Amino acid sequence: MNTFSTFQSDVTETKLSKEDDKPVFLVLSAHDYRSPRKANIHFITSELAKRGRTRFFSLRYSHLSKYTSDPRLSLDYAANQIGLYQGVECYLWKTRIHPFNTRRRWLRPLETLMYNWYSQGYNPVLRSWIQEATVILLESGVAPVFFDLIKALNPVAKILYRASDALETINVAEYINKTFARIAGEINTIALPSKALAETIPSKHNLAFVPHGIDHSVAAQADPSPYGDGIHAVSVGSMLFDPDFFVHAAKRFPDITFHIIGSGQSSHPDYGNNVKIYGEMPFAKTLCYIKHAHLGIAPYSSDNMPAYLRDTSMKLIQYDFFEVPAICPFFIAADYPNRFGYHIGDGDSIARAINRALHPSQPLVAQRVLSWSEVTERMLTPQLFRDTEMSL
């Protein structure tokens, strides 16, 4: 059973035994390891915890977060104290305000001041954990601004960077862009989940291709089927969610039941009775909905997306793993054999994609998906794996 325990925040309680020769991992991210919604950084952290003492320090959270629907709001009660969750020490750093992209050029000086202050890391737990770490993993976003602090406090720590997204795509502040451009060449390894991300990285000598993975044991955990008779299609997640897809699809296929999980949106007035809406759902519970679906839907609302999303979409990786045909816009379908593309907003095109997926001209091709253990090993020691090499 998962437990959450509160510890004294006195950093002396977290000092390591000098006799402990296992690596000490520190993850800096704007996620929180305890959040119910999982991203790749959560699974990587779980693997790190099998290899040594692991800490997860959650950044960019403040009183402002309640106005941005931050998914960590449910953990606000645990802010600014050390907790233990599934073997990982966790800390959600809550400040009065946190720096953000003002999106206004005339406010850049204020923006820079905020980031300069934040990057000093005025938090005793953060500083202690940096000093004690042997490997520090920075996730794309705000984490790179602490590079200089890490070098000052612990110059021998190995620094890894997980490029979960291109900085331009997640619209980070100019301060972060400039910082990353300056430090990229000094990072030990920059792990890219898609080779398409290489063009967004200002250094080339330290790149490693390390795609997202999946826990292969989930296949045995994804039973029984939650569905009744008939044909079932599932959509999981909220990123760029397009409700109009289901307006078109449900009308044209009244014999298919469409299950929408965690879209962040309520029912559309034009949805038919064959569209079922579910709220946020723990990752493990979504697995049976994916494994037993006849169709997986990735209803992105725009073609104006980075090419790397074709490789990094967790829902599409899960559909591939369970060999469920995926319906998605042509831009995302690309040349993937198990994906069936459509033009956004075109009901006839959507219908053709669904029909092709239900009656493919050839059997689906089983896709090789790394386990999270394999992903983590490639991040820690990319030089040991030929498939991490980048041909630039």
Q: What is the pLDDT of residue 20?
A: 62
25, 53 in Cβ contact below 8 A? yes
Model pTM score: 0.85
Q: What is the pLDDT of residue 392?
A: 66
Q: What average pLDDT score do residues 331-349 get?
A: 95
Sign of CA dihedral 391, 382, 367, 287: negative
Distance separating alpha carbons of residues 146 and 187, to the nearest angstrom: 12
Q: What average pLDDT score do residues 108-132 get?
A: 95
Sign of CA dihedral 374, 375, 379, 383: positive
* Per-residue model confidence as pLDDT tens digits over 282-324: 888 999 999 999 999 999 998 888 889 999 998 999 999 999 9
DSSP 300: B
Q: Which CATH number fits domain 218-358: 1.20.1050.10, 3.40.50.2000, 3.40.50.620, 3.40.630.30?
A: 3.40.50.2000
Distance separating alpha carbons of residues 52 and 85, to the nearest angstrom: 15
Annotation: CATH topology of 5-209 = Rossmann fold (3.40.50)
Active-site residue 320, yes or no?
no
Residues recorded for the chain:
392
Strands 207-209 and 231-236: unpaired
**How many Cα atoms occupy the beta-carbon half-sphere of 213 within 13 Å?**
23
95 has a pLDDT exceeding 50: yes
Helix axes 283-291, 314-321, angle to 10 degrees: 50
Burial of 238 (0-12, 13-18, 19+ CB in 10 A): middle
Q: What is the pLDDT of residue 345?
A: 96
Distance separating alpha carbons of residues 163 and 176, to the nearest angstrom: 14
Catalytic residue among 10, 32, 148, 165: 165
> Tokens representing 23?
């690596």
> Tokens representing 362?
């050839």
Distance separating alpha carbons of residues 225 and 234, to the nearest angstrom: 13
DSSP letters spanning 260-286: EES-S----TT--TTEEEE----HHHH
- Region of 71 on the Ramachandran plot (φ > 0 left; ψ -120 to 50 alpha; else beta): alpha
DSSP reduced 3-state for 53? strand
131 has a pLDDT exceeding 90: yes
Q: What is the pLDDT of residue 9?
A: 37
**100-104, 262-266, 336-340 — which one is most confidently predicted on average?**
336-340
> Tokens representing 365?
């091709």
Distance separating alpha carbons of residues 246 and 75, to the nearest angstrom: 33
Q: Do domains 5-209 and 218-358 have the same CATH topology?
A: yes
Q: What is the pLDDT of residue 240?
A: 87
Assign 220 a pLDDT band (cuts: 50, 70, 90): confident
Residue with tokens 């005339």: 106
68 has a pLDDT exceeding 90: no
| Domains of the chain by residue range | 5-209, 218-358
Distance separating alpha carbons of residues 294 and 234, to the nearest angstrom: 8
- Region of 86 on the Ramachandran plot (φ > 0 left; ψ -120 to 50 alpha; else beta): left
Task: Spell out where 11-139 has E strands.
Answer: 24-29, 53-62, 83-85, 88-95, 135-139
38 has a pLDDT exceeding 90: no
143, 172 in Cβ contact below 8 A? no
Distance separating alpha carbons of residues 317 and 327, to the nearest angstrom: 13
103 has a pLDDT exceeding 50: yes
Q: What is the largest CA-CA distance in the chain?
A: 66
Encode burial over 141-157: b for 16+ CB neighbours within 10 A, e otherwise: bbbbbbbeebeebbeeb
DSSP letters spanning 74-101: GGGGGTTS-EEETTEEEEEEEES-----
Distance separating alpha carbons of residues 143 and 162, to the nearest angstrom: 10
Percent of the chain predicted with pLDDT > 90: 77
369, 213 in Cβ contact below 8 A? yes
Q: What average pLDDT score do residues 169-184 get?
A: 94
* Per-residue model confidence as pLDDT tens digits over 353-366: 999 999 998 888 88
Q: What average pLDDT score do residues 123-128 get?
A: 98
- Considering the chain, what is the average pLDDT of its residues? 91
